[in-house]
Amino acid sequence: MDVKEKHIASSGCAKDHRNTNEGDGGFSFHLIKKDGNSKARLGKIITPHGEINTPVFMPVGTQGTVKSLIPEMIEGQGVEIVLSNTYHLYLRPGHELIRNLGGLHKFMNWKHPILTDSGGFQIFSLGELRQIRDEGVTFQSHIDGSRRFISPEICIEIQEALGSDIMMCLDECIPYPSEYGYAKRSLDLTLRWAKRCGNVHKNKDQALFGIVQGGTYNDLRRIAVEEIINIGFDGYALGGLSVGEPKEIMREITESTTPLLPEDKPRYLMGVGTPEDIIESVSHGIDMFDCVMPTRNARNGMLFTNHGKIAIKNARYRDDDSPLDSKCDCYTCQNYSRAYLRHLFVAGEIVALILNTIHNVRFFMKLMEEIRCAINNNSFNTFIKEARK
């Protein structure tokens, strides 16, 4: 599906209810309805720190912050949950320090839900700086070169200390391409690690998600789903995608694997986040997404609009007094011209990164609002057709 970075204006759909107060404790998922003409789902996740309307996109706050934005700015774009990273917070400033200072929510002044990923992808990206064994992973810190070790048990200990609302099991993420034998051995290791994570998971107010691996092999993905479900988790994620494989393979694996996951649990596609991939994956029943794309692109001057991407540094915008996106309701588009945004970016002003990030994050939040509206109206297939134009 060749979907441009555009989407239709929302109409006839009530605004999502946003719970700005902390919840009463516990985690649950409620499937509200399915689109009448696709597998797209509308749901709600309940956590101790509030509700999350699904399908949802989670901006990435790797180090305990969504880069360039303070919490009030993040909240102002309609963000209901952010993602932080176990690996990075373990190395700096350390999970015990964060625990002693009241947990990650207090530490970063974010009152809404947080998901922490296990650090498996970051460890995978270290390449030769890591050694994987059944006990866990020994690796060199990218910060100071010190030798560190993470096991499934330590991974859960770190995340429980952080106090995130949703934790992820430690898994091994393999590169593309990988031979079948390696993918099978890696999956077996991930499944053993998942059982160990489940065995030491103590705080039931913190949900724990299992991760489906298996590379690009459908039979391994089916085995992974069966085994992960047998262990039993609060939600299920598709991992090991968007790691260099052709887009058509990523979409085929998502389409074939998602229907195997339990209907009454959240379904999370890890690290996938272009607008077209989000729309395509929602049509197969995915509920949760994350990606660095909106924030990273903003810092590089690449901005999403209803008319396609804009490289704001281009000379064509030097005297353009129109808003970045006339259909966008964000602070940036309501107050500043393309000419001013270009000036700030070319001049290297810090506020350029702030205004760009506000817009890109709001673009993604508005996309998710419109997706939920279309599902609610049983018009998701029409939404897809409009987005393709």
**Looking at residue 14, what is its pLDDT?**
54
- Tokens, residue 130: 């890591």
* Sign of the torsion angle spanned by Cα atoms 114, 120, 121, 125: positive
- In this predicted structure, the answer to whether residue 8 has a pLDDT above a threshold of 60 is no
- What is the band of 22 on the pLDDT scale with cuts at 50, 70, 90? very low
State the angle between helix axes of 152-162 and 180-200 in degrees (0 to 180), rounded to the nearest 10: 50
Chain-centroid distance of CA 184 in Å reads 26
**Looking at residue 25, what is its pLDDT?**
66
Residue 2 appears among annotated catalytic residues:
no
> Measuring CA to CA, how many Å separate 379 from each of 14, 86, 263, 324?
15, 38, 21, 28
**Looking at residue 388, what is its pLDDT?**
78
- In this predicted structure, the answer to whether residue 20 has a pLDDT above a threshold of 90 is no
Q: What are the residue ranges spanned by the domains of the chain? A: 28-291, 293-389
302 DSSP β-pair partners: 311
Mean pLDDT of 113-124: 90
Return the CATH architecture of domain 28-291: Alpha-Beta Barrel (3.20)
- What is the band of 122 on the pLDDT scale with cuts at 50, 70, 90? confident
Task: Read off the pLDDT of residues 315-362 as tens digits, 9 standing for 90 and up.
Answer: 999 999 999 999 999 999 999 999 999 999 999 999 999 999 999 999
Q: Which amino acid is at 28?
A: S
Catalytic residue among 35, 171, 234, 290: 290
**Looking at residue 264, what is its pLDDT?**
98
Rg of the chain on CA atoms, in Å: 20
Task: Read off the pLDDT of residues 230-243 as tens digits, 9 standing for 90 and up.
Answer: 999 999 999 999 99
Share of the chain above pLDDT 70, in %: 94
**Looking at residue 285, what is its pLDDT?**
98
Give phi and psi for 165, each to the nearest 5: -80, -30
Mean pLDDT of 37-60: 97
Mention every residue, 6+ apart, whose C-beta is less than 8 A from residue 50. Answer: 19, 20, 21, 22, 23, 80, 111, 112, 113
Strand ranges in 164-287 using DSSP code E only, listed in sequence order? 166-168, 207-212, 235-238, 267-269
Residue 290 appears among annotated catalytic residues:
yes
Catalytic residue among 16, 35, 117, 325: 117
Mean pLDDT of 10-29: 60
Mean pLDDT value across the chain: 93
- In this predicted structure, the answer to whether residue 4 has a pLDDT above a threshold of 70 is no
Write a three-state SS string for 286-319. Answer: CCEEEECHHHHHHHCCEECCECECEECCCHHHCC
Return the higher-pLDDT residue of 386 and 290: 290
Give phi and psi for 121, each to the nearest 5: -65, -40
Task: Read off the pLDDT of residues 233-288 as tens digits, 9 standing for 90 and up.
Answer: 999 999 999 999 999 999 999 999 999 999 999 999 999 999 999 999 999 999 99
Task: Tell me the DSSP string of 268-279.
Answer: EETT---HHHHH
* Predicted TM-score of the model (pTM): 0.95
Task: Read off the pLDDT of residues 134-145 as tens digits, 9 standing for 90 and up.
Answer: 999 999 998 999
Residues 23 and 267 sit within 8 Å (Cβ to Cβ): no
- What is the band of 15 on the pLDDT scale with cuts at 50, 70, 90? low
Mean pLDDT of 217-236: 98
Task: Read off the pLDDT of residues 60-96 as tens digits, 9 standing for 90 and up.
Answer: 999 999 999 999 999 999 999 999 999 999 999 999 9
Return the higher-pLDDT residue of 325 and 388: 325
Q: Which of 345, 363, 173, 372 is nearest to 274 (CA)?
A: 363
